[in-house]
Amino acid sequence: MLESLKKQVYEANMQLPKLNLVTFTWGNVSGIDRRQGLFVIKPSGVAYENLEPEDMVVVNLKGEVVEGKMNPSSDTPTHTVLYNKFPKIGGIVHTHSPWAVAFASANMDIPALNTTAADTFYGDIPVSEPLTETEIQDAYEEDTGKVIVKTFQDHNIDPEAVPGVLVSQHGPFTWGSTPDKAVYNAKVLEVVAEMDYHALTLTHANIEVPQYLLDKHYNRKHGKNAYYGQNKQRRIQFAKK
């Protein structure tokens, strides 16, 4: 079942240690087949070097295991909430990458301070409100998903334009159109967090990028007239001979 998606999710998971986004087993990737209403996710607590594509676990949008020999990631309820509430996303990543966790620990957004951030995130990467004691005790992982959704609703943020979040005192979640795109966004978030940390130690001035620079860098990759890369609208005009 979903063998092609299992391979995609497996390969995306294997990118996490290669990109220095995880320590030990502290992370997971999932990917969804929207047509079938099923997603595939890493099994819980299994070392990356011991994983195989067939180890990936198939789960439905109620959070129930449909196929798999092992238990799915403990974060499966969070992924389930996000897939249900963000219907256009195709893959989700969770890590405990250290620079992002530093901002989550401080309960701080990762601000848009440079064009590196603006190329991927159309604005600050928000941090959620801390989960309450009741939320943690009753349905911790499911409530983690709910607090992420609430963060985007409360601040009127488009989850496609800002494909990532920090869960307060926990860590980052990112998403994308595919599992590998979600991994890409996770790496960008971590790099931006490190850059921002250093910038914020150098000055107390307001150094957020102006809206016009944010617009330019985000839209040249993601807008309707995007021109970055080889598959975008060609903007170079050659002189007539």
The answer on pLDDT for 5 being more than 70 is yes
The answer on pLDDT for 238 being more than 50 is no
Helix segments in 32-155, DSSP class H: 76-85, 98-105, 115-118, 133-154
Query: What is the pLDDT, as a whole number, of residue 234?
Result: 52
Give mean pLDDT, residues 13-25.
98
Q: How far is it, in rounded angstroms, from Cα 159 to Cα 157?
A: 6
Q: Which of 48, 140, 197, 228 is catalytic?
A: 228
Give mean pLDDT, residues 201-226.
93
73 lies in some domain = yes
231 lies in some domain = no
- Of 204, 197, 34, 214, the C-alpha closest to 124 is 214
3-state secondary structure of 193: helix
Q: How far is it, in rounded angstroms, from Cα 181 to Cα 144?
A: 22
Residue 38 tokens, joined: 């099923």
Give mean pLDDT, residues 182-204.
98
Query: What is the pLDDT, as a whole number, of residue 223?
Result: 80
Q: How far is it, in rounded angstroms, from Cα 138 to Cα 92?
A: 23
Q: Which of 33, 55, 119, 215 is catalytic?
A: 119
Average pLDDT, the chain: 95
115 lies in some domain = yes
The yes-or-no answer on residue 119 being catalytic is yes
For residue 67, the enclosing domain spans 3-222
| 166-189 residue pLDDT tens | 999 999 999 999 999 999 999 999
94 lies in some domain = yes
123 lies in some domain = yes
Percent of the chain with pLDDT over 70: 95
Tally of structural domains, the chain: 1
Q: Report residue 240's pLDDT band, with 50, 70 and 90 as the boundaries.
A: very low
pTM confidence score: 0.93
| 148-157 residue pLDDT tens | 999 999 999 9
The enclosing domain of 37 has a CATH number of 3.40.225.10
234 lies in some domain = no
The answer on pLDDT for 64 being more than 70 is yes
Ranking 45-49, 100-104, 219-223 by mean pLDDT, the lowest is: 219-223
The answer on pLDDT for 241 being more than 50 is no
232 lies in some domain = no
3-state secondary structure of 103: helix
Report whether 9 contacts 1 (CB < 8 A).
Answer: no
- Of 17, 198, 171, the C-alpha closest to 104 is 171
